[in-house]
A and B are shown apart, each in its own frame.
Chain A
Amino acid sequence: MALNGITMKIEQRETIALIGQNGGGKTTLAKQFNGLLKPTRGQVLVKGAETRKVPANRLALTVGYVFQNPSHQIFSSKVWDEVAFGPKNAGLNPQDVEERTKWAIEAVGLSGLEQTHPYDLDYGKMKLLTIASIMSIKPEVYCLDEPTTGQDHQGRRRVAQLIKDLNENGATVIVITHDMRFVAEVSKRIVLVAGGRIVADGQTRELFEKTDVLSAAQIRPPQITQLAHALADRGVPPNLLTVREMSDYFAGVLRRR
Chain B
Amino acid sequence: MQSDGVTVQVEGLTYAYPGHVPVLHEINLRVLKGEMLGIIGPNGAGKSTLCKALNGLVPHFYGGTYGGTVSVAGMSTMEHTVADLSLKVGLVFQEPTNQFSGVSTRVDEEVAFGMSMMGFQREQMFSRIRDSLRQVGLEGLEERSPFELSGGQQQRLAIATVLAVRPEIIVMDEPTAQLDPVGKTEVLETMRALNKQGYTIIVAEHEIEELATFADRIITLQDGRVVLEGSTRRVLTQIARLKKIGVDPPSVTELSQLVAEKTSLTPDQYPITLDEAIDLYRGLLGDAAH
In the complex, which of the residues A223, A253, A257 contacts B209, with contact meaning CB atoms closer than 8 Å?
A223
For A227, the chain B residues whose CB sits under 8 A away are 251-252, 255, 274, 277-278, 281
Q: How many residues of A contact B (CB 8 A)?
A: 41
Pick from B247, B252, B259, B262: contact of A224, CB under 8 Å? B252
Closest beta carbon of chain A to B47's beta carbon, Å: 10
The smallest C-beta distance from B185 to any residue of chain A, in angstroms, reads 9
Task: Indicate if the CB atoms of B43 and A219 lie closer than 8 Å.
Answer: no
Are B251 and A155 touching (Cβ within 8 A)? no
Decide if A230 touches B247 in the complex (CB within 8 Å): no
Q: Please tell me if A93 contacts chain B, counting CB pairs below 8 Å.
A: no
Beyond A152-B247, A223-B252, whether A234 also contacts B282 by CB under 8 A is yes
In the complex formed, the residue of A with least CB distance to B177 is: A150
CB distance from B253 to the nearest CB of A (A): 9
Closest residue on chain B to residue A257 by CB atoms: B288
CA of A256 to CA of B254, assembled, Å:
23
- Indicate if the CB atoms of B43 and A152 lie closer than 8 Å: yes
Q: Is the CB of B263 within 8 A of A22?
A: no
Q: How far is the CA of A36 from the CA of B177 in the complex (A)?
A: 27
Q: Is B258 among interface residues, defined by CB-CB distance under 8 A?
A: yes
Known interface pairs A123-B43, A178-B181, A223-B251; A243-B285 also in contact (CB < 8 Å): no
Interface of A is mostly: helix
Tell me the residues in window 206-231 of chain B with beta carbons closer than 8 Å to chain A beta carbons. 206, 209
- Asked if B21 is at the interface of the complex by the 8 Å CB criterion, the answer is no
The contact of A251 among B180, B246, B262, by CB within 8 Å, is: B262
**Given A224-B251, A247-B255, A250-B259; A155-B286 close (CB under 8 Å):** no
Decide: B251 and A243 in contact? CB cutoff 8 A. Answer: yes
Q: B50 CB to closest chain A CB, in angstroms?
A: 15
Question: Chain A's nearest CB lies how many Å from the CB of B38?
Answer: 15
Instruction: Name the residue in B42, B247, B251 with the highest tally of chain A Cβ atoms < 10 Å from its Cβ.
Output: B251
Convert B228-258 into 0s and 1s, putting 1 for each residue whose CB lies closer than 8 angstroms to a CB of A.
0000000000000001001110111011001
**Contact across chains for B263 and A254 when beta carbons are under 8 A apart:** yes
Q: How far is the CB of B180 from chain A (nearest CB, A)?
A: 4
Give the docked Cα–Cα distance between A253 and B42 (Å). 36
Pair A231/B281 contact, Cβ less than 8 Å: yes
A255 touches B (CB below 8 Å): yes
Min CB–CB distance B172 → chain A (angstroms): 15
Is A181 an interface residue, CB under 8 A from the partner? Answer: yes
Per the bound structure, the CA–CA distance linking A22 and B285 in Å amounts to: 39
Spell out A's residues near B (CB within 8 Å): 21-23, 122-125, 149-156, 178, 181, 218-220, 222-224, 226-227, 230-231, 234-236, 243-244, 246-247, 250-251, 253-257
5 extra interface residue pairs, beta carbon distance < 8 Å, beyond A151-B43, A236-B285, A244-B258: A22-B180, A223-B251, A224-B252, A231-B278, A256-B288
